[in-house]
Structure 1
């Protein structure tokens, strides 16, 4: 009986530790080299956050990244059952940092997308769905193209309208959806989420791909572990991640 109590205590301690890890906030400082980056964008930064799900974004996180020039939400801002006041609160806190861009995730479309779209319009959030945002600085522009979950029908030819000169950043929720995009060789770097880094990793055993920078299709791709969790509010071996990405034209 003593052994059973000991094992139960150990399991409970591990679960509590995983719950604690899932509730952390962490900002990963990144540098992204874009060789054709216009001079006015040298040193500018993007705050990238994905897979928020049910979490509330704390004020302490906003304080850490308040110097960023642009915010990009890489999908799964929410999931089914998350109340609209919490969604609006998270958006308003992110707006304190800078302009906010958003791509749809698979969980976002479980909500009333029409109502969400109206919320985004009211809050001034730019939705990238087979579309391009022209990020302007000093009269120069960096295009940021975006495509959400493939269940919303990704336009595989969306990049054909973009001139082949100058840089191009790409944002999508599920990194696997890059396979559907024609003209991928135009992309200089891409940002994504969706996998949660596996969320629970024991060595190499995990239900999802680990996060980090990958070399895909000849350009750097960031797969974020994400901010929130799905199904179980637990993490192990795949820590919470948000990203403050500083742009550079050279290493």
Structure 2
């Protein structure tokens, strides 16, 4: 009797583990786009309604053409937030992904930590060859309806860590922008900044924890991630203006190491920029 009870309990436990693993794999390979509006008071009026496709942490996944191709002509820019590939990822898959992203709208990208673990020179040639602008501590201006904003792409430091980043690229006095977006792979970059030098920051890297543990336990060691893990945040600029910046940390499309997720499903984003506080829209 005891042996039969133990065998039954083990069978139930194994079945539960199989089901749990299946749920985590399903979440890891989810194909969904989150559409959201970002209200920013300093946004140039010409950019009200400007749409950005934001994808980060692709790793070795294949971007879904059936889901993304209809966005051609529906978004004004594509921002890729790093970890576009990883060691061992087929170069043909990276090429297909980059070709698809570049076909949708003018596209911009930054490196992530896993991009430096792959054959970086080859990967960079593929990225640039597809027509994507790879930003390595650079500013570019995006023009729309007669006005412009500045996009700054911060390169992930090859040696890692929050102190290894290059300083922000300089801005000529006559080019000082009224509105700036910073694209950076790891939001931990912010921990090394005395002030927030942008109106909007887009980041990834965290995977939202990827497998979210109970009791508030964190996969990441740095306490920064206990506050800034995934989602949208408003943070003080600390530049004397008294204003706030918006920070979006994506859970990313791919996974690091094992293709498993729990309580942090894969995601991509279509971000619509809106001028204003958004308070009147709640």
Specify whether residues 151 and 178 from structure 1 end up closer, same or farther in structure 2 by C-alpha distance, changes over 3 A only. Answer: farther
1:106-134, CA deviations, whole angstroms, 9 ceiling, x for partnerless residues? 00011222222222222111011110121
Shift of 1:245: 0.5
Structure 1 segment 185-224 matched on structure 2, within 5 A: 185-203=196-214, 204-208=216-220, 209=225, 210-218=229-237, 219-224=245-250
Higher Cα Rg: structure 1 or 2? 2
User: Cα distance, 1:25 vs. partner?
Assistant: 1.1
Aligned match of 2:127: 120
**What is the aligned-residue RMSD (CA, Å)?**
1.8
8 A contact 1:74–1:191 mirrored in 2? yes
Select which of 224, 230, 236 maps to 2:262: 236
Indicate the residue corresponding to 2:272 in structure 1: 246
**Which runs of 5 or more structure 1 residues have no equivalent in the other structure?**
none
In structure 2, list runs of 5 or more residues that go unmatched: 1-6, 238-244
SS in 2 for 1:21: helix
CA shift for structure 1 position 95: 1.7
Structure 1 residue runs of 4 or more that deviate by more than 6 Å after TM superposition: none
The question of whether the paired residues in 1 share the 8 Å contact of 2:80 and 2:109 is answered with yes
Q: Does 1:87 align with 2:105?
A: no
The counterpart of 1:24, out of the listed 25, 30, 44, is 30
Gap change, CA 1:160 and 1:40, over 3 Å in 2: closer
> 1:164 offset after TM fit, Å?
4.1
Q: 1:19–1:233: 8 Å Cα contact kept in structure 2?
A: yes
Number of aligned residue pairs? 250
1:105-184 to 2 correspondences below 5 Å? 105-151=112-158, 153-161=164-172, 163-181=175-193, 184=195
TM-score, L = length of structure 1: 0.93
Q: Distance in 1 between matches of 2:128 and 2:26?
A: 35
Closer/same/farther in 2, CA of residues 181 and 115 from structure 1, 3 Å limit: farther
SS in 2 for 1:48: strand
Deviation sequence 1:32-64 (CA, Å, 0-9, x none): 123222222110100100000110011122046
Q: C-alpha separation between the residues in 2 aligned to 1:239 and 1:94?
A: 21
CA distance in 2, matches of 1:165, 1:143: 6
- Residue-by-residue CA offset, 1:207-230 (whole Å, 9 max, x unaligned): 144310123343111111000111
Superposition TM-score, scaled by structure 2 size: 0.83
Matches within 5 A, 1:45-124: 45-63=51-69, 65-66=71-72, 67-124=74-131
Residues 174, 195 of structure 1: 8 Å contact kept: yes
